[in-house]
Amino acid sequence: MKITNFAVKNYQFTLIIFLLVSVVGYLTLFSMPRSEDPSTHPPQYLITVIYPGTSPKDMEEQVVKPIENKIYGLENIDKILTTVEDGVAAFQVKFKYGVDVDNKYQEISTEMNALQASELPKDIYLIKTEKIASSDVKILQVALISENASDKKLRDAADELKTRLEKITNLKDVKYAGIPEQEIRIDLHLDKLAQLKIPLNLVMGSLQSEAADIPGGSINLDSKVFNVKTSGKFKNADDVANTVIYNANGKIIYMKDVAEVGYKSETVDHITRINGHRCVLVTVGMKDNVNITDVQKEFLPIVEEFSKDLPQNIKLVKSFDQANMVSQRLGHLGFDFTLAIVLVIITLLPLGSRASLIVMISIPLSLALGLIVMNAFGYSLNQLSIVGLVVALGLLVDDSIVVVENIERWLREGHSKMDAVLKGTKQIGLAVVGCTATLVIAFLPLAFLPDVSGEFIRSLPMAIITSVLASMIVAMTLVPFLGSRFLKTHEHGEGNVFLQYLQKFLTRSYSRIMPKALQFPKTTIAISVALSITAFGLFKATGFKLFPTSEKPMFLINIKMPLQANLTESDRVTKLIEAELKNHKEIVFYTANVGKGNPQIYYNVHPQDRKPDFAQIFVQLEDEAKPTEKTALIERLREKFKTMPYAKIEVKDFEQGTPLEANIVVRLFGEDPAVLRKLSSQVETILRNQKGTVYINNELNTYKTDVKVKINKEKARTLGVMTSEADKVVRLAVAGLTVGDYIDDRGDARNVTLTLPRDKFSNLDALKNLYVNNIQGTPIALNQIADISFETSPTAINHFNKSRFAKVTALSDKGYYANDLLTEIIPKLDRLKMPKGYYYKLSGEKESEGDALGGNFLSVIILSTFLFIAVLLLQFKTFKGIIIVLSIIPLGILGGVVLLLINGSPMSLVAIIGFIGLSGIQVKNSLLLVDFTNQLRQEGHSIDEAIAIAGETRFLPVVLTSITAICGLIPLALNSNPLIAPLAIVLIGGLISSTILSRIVTPVMYKLMPPSIEIDNKETLN
């Protein structure tokens, strides 16, 4: 081949180029971004609207419908999932893959700003639009612990640490949580306002006017420009207290005359503890494409120095540091990589020391070239890309082994060194290119998997593809060059002792089987067909789970209180759970979050927003804890909390892959809440009666009770009271109204809140003795125009693409897979009698599988199949040759499925990757046999002679490449990570069965249907 001739004859150039690759590859290895998981940027956004004190029904009418109408009108929208609860509406907006993520974010933000200014209620507390990305994960969680420090001291300490960490350029979203912010609170006496006949609007207007910060602009004076400073924001509580709210008839009324003004903490809505101790949590995120190890070197000194400066009654504990987990995980994979190299070296012994050395030199150079390309494409070093490199390690030596072994064979036959290098490489060159092309095409569909699961997994196939392509270039250039320098002519043709024994073993193993197989070809093929059918039949026995659970030594406990439980009751029950966790010595940290979810510490679990009847505990074990130990603890805790009388306790492990609410989710669509409630109850019964389901949740099994302030509009109009004014007074009494902000002593903006005198939490007394001013300023008692009563309302309202639905969810118990359970559940759901216009859809794992394996993925598979066949046609120019080569694939599947069953792993996306990759590896091995058989027939050998010689000659490199691949994969198969191990298990099982059986089936298939061969004089042999 020309490239080989060029590389050998221009050896100085070849040497310099590969030295350059070595240096750049080495630098790339240490400069590439490192992270635990691949960086993902799906076109998904989360819009959160917080409107305290608003019922789900009111939220739906006033907030949800306007936002959904606006968002649904945007281009390339895929789906909108809306969840409406008390005072909170969350919109999960997903666009079709391929759109510009940043542009869509700007588009949504613009629309939200426009809506807030025009259609949405003016007193909404917060509208937040967020991009969903892997970088949302907090890489650091620090707890500032104190049982006796004041709120202000703890808050100031947390704020100081936040300020220091924010100065690190590679960090983002530095936040603290678990302690209420300080505010200036104005406890207004409505009775005094009523006596003075001062309208509430006048008070609010005066405060908002004084709080406004309007720049004065600039003026020219001689040759200079001076900025004009105005009064600015409130400076302190005295500023607020001395605000003039009324000035008429020589009478001046100050704010302090009708209210108590002072510094207070905001209403407590989130309580945090670590290992049972009161604390504040400080969390830190990291920007994309950054090396987490380098970032750790920046923040650790700051945290340690800050810890020394703290007062004695405040202690700092670094409870979560993802950088340590990344180092540990990459360290384990690094060990696996080293072990794989050692095993590969051992398998290369039959080639001889010089040939083995050449192959060993080709390994780091192929990996270096692959790393350079990956870095250029923007991929990071993470658990999946490193797995791809370890898998590639077993595959990339194939090309070098095949080339070196062929050169060695020519040398053993007595050819000169240059003839052996050039002609030996030329003889095998086309087969090597064809083998590499088929392998790359096999992994190509995985690089184009759609949706977020495809983006998550993409670095794995890309690592394999780039490394294997690099290995082909190295095998066709550097290996022949090194062979021309280091290899020598053999004195005897049998090779070294390792080669001789291996050759004898292979010959003896097949000496009796092969003649019989060739004598009874149809019987042999019938047996192989039976084995293939068995292989496909065993698929069902493995079960299916798209992504496995995480092996990380941590999990979550969700505490779901009875409906409408307050924060105090949720805290009481959380303490009971903490008391139990304290008894388990294997638990290092347990971080309680009452009223809110723990800050995000896993890439696909987003924290629960404020909810008084919810609490969550983040549990961490020792770093070296095995997944089996964690699973056993989870099972013990589930059993312990199963009969908890006060709340529903869910002990949940983290799941890999796309975010899932639950394994099984049944969505019931329809408009009438009463009908939906009835149907959801029936679905709940089905799930509860299904063996293998746990933690069944039905949001509609109970209604909640709201306090209804019903205004008599006729009476209100008669008395000159506007309904909006009455609503404003109620809001003022219960939740308070933010009328401005001030700058505290640390330079941060804090709220100025107007409310009525109350305790820590509002109660029913807040609605007593309220007055509303009419348009003349005369105070009217609220109870004159309104009745206070209780009414039932739904706990939550859900929309999917603007259609209302109810949902019933369940998790699969240990030893059960959602797909297996659904085969029994779906027929029962289909038998439900639903009114016209009502129907169900499955979400959870089922929807995730459809997103990951449907649509575009099928198109890519079809395209790759045609490319696969096209490459083989170029190689053999006949369909018979393709059928012979492809006939081995089902036999490899047999070994992969059997080993999965023995290991107890289910079929998964990673296992599917293994089977797809396996097809490429098998075809590669079979192609070598068929290609050489064709060459021998072209040289004049009969079919039987060609089959016999090719089987003896080419089966040795096939066995060597298979053994090296298997040895390279063994460390991965033994890895405890369930995301990694199934891939290696499938490949090992498939390689074992296909390597053993290909020596029988491929020659027999060739004899049964020999392809046409063109010889030099253009005569065609059949």
Q: Please state, in angstroms and rounded to a whole number, the distance separating the CA atoms of residues 147 and 635.
A: 33
Go through 341-352 and write b for each residue having 16 or more CB atoms within 10 A of its CB, e for each that does not: bebbbebbbbbb
Q: Strand runs (DSSP E) across 561-674, as ranges?
A: 587-594, 614-621, 648-653, 664-669
* CA angle at 413 for the pair 408 and 414, rounded to the nearest 5°: 100
Distant-in-sequence, close-in-space partners of 309: CB < 8 Å, separation ≥ 6: none
CA distances from 477 to 425, 426, 649 (A): 10, 12, 63
Nearest to 950 by CA among 961, 963, 937: 937
Encode pLDDT of 272-302 as tens digits. Answer: 999 999 999 999 999 888 888 889 999 999 9
pLDDT at residue 490, rounded to an integer:
59
Residue with tokens 């004695």: 312
Give the tokens for residue 637.
């805790």
pLDDT at residue 897, rounded to an integer:
92
Go through 947-973 and write b for each residue having 16 or more CB atoms within 10 A of its CB, e for each that does not: bbbbbebbbbbbbbbbbbbbbbbbbbb
Q: Please state, in angstroms and rounded to a whole number, the distance separating the CA atoms of residues 761 and 53.
A: 13
* Beta carbons of 604 and 36 less than 8 angstroms apart: no
* Beta carbons of 647 and 559 less than 8 angstroms apart: yes
The DSSP element (H or E) to which 902 belongs, if any, is helix 889-903
* Neighbouring C-beta atoms of residue 426, cutoff 10 Å: 15
Q: Please state, in angstroms and rounded to a whole number, the distance separating the CA atoms of residues 193 and 196.
A: 5
Nearest to 598 by CA among 838, 398, 917, 590: 590
- Look up the pTM and report it: 0.82
Q: Please state, in angstroms and rounded to a whole number, the distance separating the CA atoms of residues 347 and 265.
A: 69
Give how far the C-alpha of residue 918 lies from the chain's centroid of Cα atoms, to the nearest Å. 26
SS3 annotation, 328-385: HHHHHHHHHHHHHHHHHHHHCHHHCHHHHHHHHHHHHHHHHHHHHHHHHCCCCECHHH
Half-sphere exposure of 27 (CA within 13 A, CB side): 5
Q: Please state, in angstroms and rounded to a whole number, the distance separating the CA atoms of residues 774 and 770.
A: 13
* Neighbouring C-beta atoms of residue 321, cutoff 10 Å: 19
Distant-in-sequence, close-in-space partners of 1005: CB < 8 Å, separation ≥ 6: 525, 883, 884, 887
* Beta carbons of 609 and 591 less than 8 angstroms apart: no
CA dihedral 810, 813, 816, 821 (to 10 degrees): -30
Give the tokens for residue 616.
């969550």
pLDDT at residue 1022, rounded to an integer:
53
Q: Please state, in angstroms and rounded to a whole number, the distance separating the CA atoms of residues 607 and 175.
A: 14
| DSSP-derived secondary structure letter, 180 | P
pLDDT at residue 961, rounded to an integer:
77
pLDDT at residue 923, rounded to an integer:
79
CA distances from 147 to 272, 274, 278, 280 (A): 12, 11, 6, 11
Encode pLDDT of 936-948 as tens digits. Answer: 888 888 888 888 8
* Neighbouring C-beta atoms of residue 39, cutoff 10 Å: 20
* Beta carbons of 12 and 358 less than 8 angstroms apart: no
* Neighbouring C-beta atoms of residue 476, cutoff 10 Å: 23
- Residue ranges of the chain whose pLDDT lies below 50: 1017-1019
Give the tokens for residue 950.
């090719």
* Neighbouring C-beta atoms of residue 233, cutoff 10 Å: 15
* CA angle at 619 for the pair 613 and 622, rounded to the nearest 5°: 175
* Beta carbons of 477 and 4 less than 8 angstroms apart: yes
Q: Please state, in angstroms and rounded to a whole number, the distance separating the CA atoms of residues 580 and 647.
A: 15
* CA angle at 468 for the pair 467 and 474, rounded to the nearest 5°: 85
Distant-in-sequence, close-in-space partners of 1002: CB < 8 Å, separation ≥ 6: 884, 885, 887, 888, 926, 929, 930
Distant-in-sequence, close-in-space partners of 494: CB < 8 Å, separation ≥ 6: 412, 500, 503
* Neighbouring C-beta atoms of residue 702, cutoff 10 Å: 14
Nearest to 603 by CA among 1020, 271, 135: 135
3-class DSSP state for residue 599?
coil
Encode pLDDT of 115-128 as tens digits. Answer: 888 888 877 878 88
